Amino acid sequence: MVNTHLVKSEKLLFFRRWLKAPKQLGTLAPISKRLARSAAKLVHDAACVKVVEIGAGTGRLTRTLIECGIKPENLTAVELDGTFCNFLKTSLPQANIIHGDACELPALLGEKLVGKVDIVFSVIPLMYLEPAVREQIVNQALAVLKPSGKLYHVCYTPVSPFKKNETIESNRLVSLWMNIPPGFVWEFRRVNSLI
Ligand SMILES: C[S@@+](CC[C@H](N)C(=O)[O-])C[C@H]1O[C@@H](n2cnc3c(N)ncnc32)[C@H](O)[C@@H]1O
For helices 33-40 and 60-67, the axis angle rounded to 10 degrees is 50
Is the C-beta atom of 141 inside 6 A of ligand 1? Answer: no
pTM of the full structure: 0.94
- Give the strand pairing for 51-54 and 75-79: parallel
Residue 75 CA: distances (Å) to CA of 7, 8, 54, 133: 19, 22, 11, 25
Q: Which atom of ligand 1 is nearest to the CA of 31?
A: 9
| C-alpha–C-alpha distance, residues 36 and 18, integer Å | 19
Ligand 1 contact via 31 beta carbon (within 6 Å): yes
Cβ of 80 less than 6 Å from ligand 1:
yes
pLDDT at 193: 67
Homologous superfamily of the 4-11+38-190 domain (CATH): Vaccinia Virus protein VP39 (3.40.50.150)
Under 8 Å CB-to-CB from 140, ≥6 apart: which residues?
102, 103, 104, 105, 106
What pLDDT is attached to residue 5?
A: 66
120 lines ligand 1 (CB under 6 A): no
Contact 97, 85 (CB under 8 A): yes
Task: Give distance in angstroms: CA of 137 to centre of ligand 1.
Answer: 12
Inter-CA distances, 36 with 21, 69, 84, 174, 195, Å = 22, 14, 18, 11, 25
Distance 22 CA to ligand 1 centre (A): 11
The pLDDT of residue 9: 87
**What pLDDT score was predicted for residue 173?**
97
Nearest to 121, CA basis, from 192, 64, 182? 64
Q: Whose CA is nearest to atom 2 of ligand 1?
A: 25
Residues sharing a CB contact under 8 Å with residue 60, sequence separation 6 or more, in sequence order: 10, 30, 31, 33, 36
Residues contacting residue 134 through CB under 8 Å, at least 6 positions apart:
126, 161, 162
User: How do the pLDDT tens digits run along the chain, 195 residues long?
Assistant: 455 666 668 999 999 999 999 999 999 999 999 999 999 999 999 889 999 999 999 999 999 999 999 999 999 999 999 999 999 999 999 999 999 999 999 999 999 999 999 999 999 999 999 999 999 999 999 999 999 999 999 999 999 888 776 788 899 999 999 999 999 999 999 887 655
- Phi, psi torsion values for 186, nearest 5 degrees: -110, 150
